[in-house]
């Protein structure tokens, strides 16, 4: 039997948290990006305002890689906003889940332990190595810190990881496996080795500038950070009097099955992800008011994403919808990107303000959508409906994910 949309439960957003190169907090991410501020310095999007000692105990810091620390702090902010106050919002802890993504895991820990082994031999490697660098270390740390006893696991799909985690969490609640889920992703790969590896792929901007969709774009700028959402089953959230910040309306994921790093040049599978997500959400192309693009600032991604948007929305509608890229303000947060960008999209919908694609000045003749150049603009809702947007995430490995997000009434 095919499970129809009518059997699924609605999923709302009650908490947002972020640590990004624009600062600690989901609010500061939206406000500074909308004000046209960029968090990229010297070709990297580092979270320079983030000092784990301000938020975590000595023990928590010693036992975690930076990617887990970012996840813990963003989760703390999201849970505080949701108003859970240590009582799980009244939910049975076994019915609360946590799904957190990372593209790479604890590379700082891998590197430092490898240094120790080289200098002092294998017996000197820390017992905290594996539990710190495993890709599920972030979700494990958050589950332990907040006593989450339902399904908890990590999600790995390179730069689509964060969006996949929100999609997984959505399904978990829709189909009744959980009543609330803490979902998102984190990444911390700004090490010499991390830069060397991405440079070897010729993926990084040699100019150190993130300017998605601009004719001069020459690669992405690597960033670090975390984004976390608290998702709850709608009726339960309303019953407990939670403030509804938005809604996860739909999700779909496809795979290029084409190349390890290059996107399918037709944009076909990426377009399918967008189309299937709209169908999943029960939304028409006319009901989407904003596209938060994957927009990496690489020549290939931005061209293929433009093509995919045209295929999914139709030439005419695609040119009407404002498209902007969060990566223009914070760089590419890899496995955290989809989650941070979901936070940014929901904040934009809630504020009814579309932040711009920073640095976009020279149009590429091939790329002819409205990339929101210059400054932020008001979000215009077609037909007066509640605002809705899509957020795209595409990844090395050919993973494509689209989330459909709603801004609430």
Partner 1 sequence: MSAITTEQVESRVIETLASFGPDVSQITRDATFEELDIDSLDLVELAQVVEDDYGVILKGEDMKELKTVGQAIDLIVSRAE
Give catalytic residue positions: 159, 294, 332
When the beta carbons of 16 and 56 are compared against partner 1, the nearer one is 56
Find where tokens 């968090």 sit. 39
The strand pair at 353-354 and 11-20 is best described as: unpaired
Quote the least distance from Cβ 58 to partner 1, whole Å: 4
When the beta carbons of 120 and 352 are compared against partner 1, the nearer one is 120
**C-alpha distance from residue 95 to each of 51, 92, 151, 362 (Å):** 32, 5, 8, 50
Residues that bind partner 1 (CB under 8 A): 57-59, 62-63, 120, 123-124, 126-128, 131
When the beta carbons of 52 and 269 are compared against partner 1, the nearer one is 52
Task: Reduce the secondary structure of 337-351 to three states and give it as a string.
Answer: HHHHHHHHHHHHHHH
When the beta carbons of 57 and 243 are compared against partner 1, the nearer one is 57
Quote the least distance from Cβ 105 to partner 1, whole Å: 18
Closest by CA to 137, choosing from 187, 193, 181, is 187
- Please check whether residue 33 is in contact with residue 22, taking contact to mean a CB–CB distance below 8 angstroms: yes
- Report DSSP state, residue 242: P
Quote the least distance from Cβ 78 to partner 1, whole Å: 25
Closest by CA to 37, choosing from 393, 326, 372, is 326
DSSP tally for the chain: helices H, then strands E: 14, 13
Quote the least distance from Cβ 127 to partner 1, whole Å: 4
Closest by CA to 163, choosing from 344, 334, 401, is 401
């Amino acid at each position: 039997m095919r499970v129809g949309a009518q059997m699924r439960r609605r999923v709302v957003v009650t908490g947002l948290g972020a640590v990004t190169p624009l600062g600690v907090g989901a609010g500061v991410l939206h406000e500074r990006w909308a004000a046209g501020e960029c968090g990229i310095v010297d070709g990297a999007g580092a979270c320079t305002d983030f000092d784990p000692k301000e938020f975590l105990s000595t023990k928590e810091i010693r036992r975690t890689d930076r990617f887990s620390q970012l996840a813990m702090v963003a989760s703390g902010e999201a849970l505080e906003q949701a108003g859970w106050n240590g009582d799980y919002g009244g939910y049975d802890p076994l019915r609360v889940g946590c799904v957190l993504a990372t593209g790479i895991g604890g590379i700082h820990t891998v590197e430092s332990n490898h240094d120790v082994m080289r200098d002092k031999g294998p017996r000197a490697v820390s017992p905290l190595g594996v539990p710190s660098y495993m890709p599920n270390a972030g979700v494990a740390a958050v589950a332990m810190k907040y006593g989450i006893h339902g399904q908890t696991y990590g999600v790995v799909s390179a730069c689509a990881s964060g969006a996949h985690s929100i999609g997984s969490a959505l399904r978990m609640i829709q189909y009744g496996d959980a009543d609330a889920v803490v979902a998102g992703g984190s990444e911390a790969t700004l090490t010499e080795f991390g830069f060397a590896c991405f440079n070897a792929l010729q993926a990084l901007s040699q100019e150190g500038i993130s300017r998605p969709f601009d004719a001069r774009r020459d690669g992405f700028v690597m960033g670090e950070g975390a984004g976390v959402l608290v998702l709850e089953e709608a009726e339960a959230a309303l019953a407990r009097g939670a403030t509804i910040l938005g809604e996860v309306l739909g999700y779909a994921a496809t795979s290029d099955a084409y190349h390890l790093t290059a996107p399918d040049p037709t944009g076909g599978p990426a377009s399918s992800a967008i189309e299937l997500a709209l169908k999943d959400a029960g939304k028409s192309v006319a009901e989407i008011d904003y596209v938060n693009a994957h927009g990496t600032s690489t020549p290939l991604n931005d061209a293929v994403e433009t093509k995919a948007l045209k295929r999914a929305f139709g030439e005419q509608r695609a040119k009407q919808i404002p498209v902007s890229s969060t990566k223009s303000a914070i760089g590419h947060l890899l496995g955290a990107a989809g989650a941070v960008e979901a936070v940014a999209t929901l904040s934009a919908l809630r504020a009814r303000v579309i932040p711009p694609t920073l640095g976009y000045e020279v149009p590429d003749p091939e790329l002819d959508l409205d990339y929101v150049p210059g400054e932020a603009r008001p979000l215009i809702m077609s037909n007066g409906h509640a605002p809705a947007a899509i957020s795209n995430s595409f990844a090395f490995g050919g993973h494509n994910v689209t989330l459909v997000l709603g801004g609430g009434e």
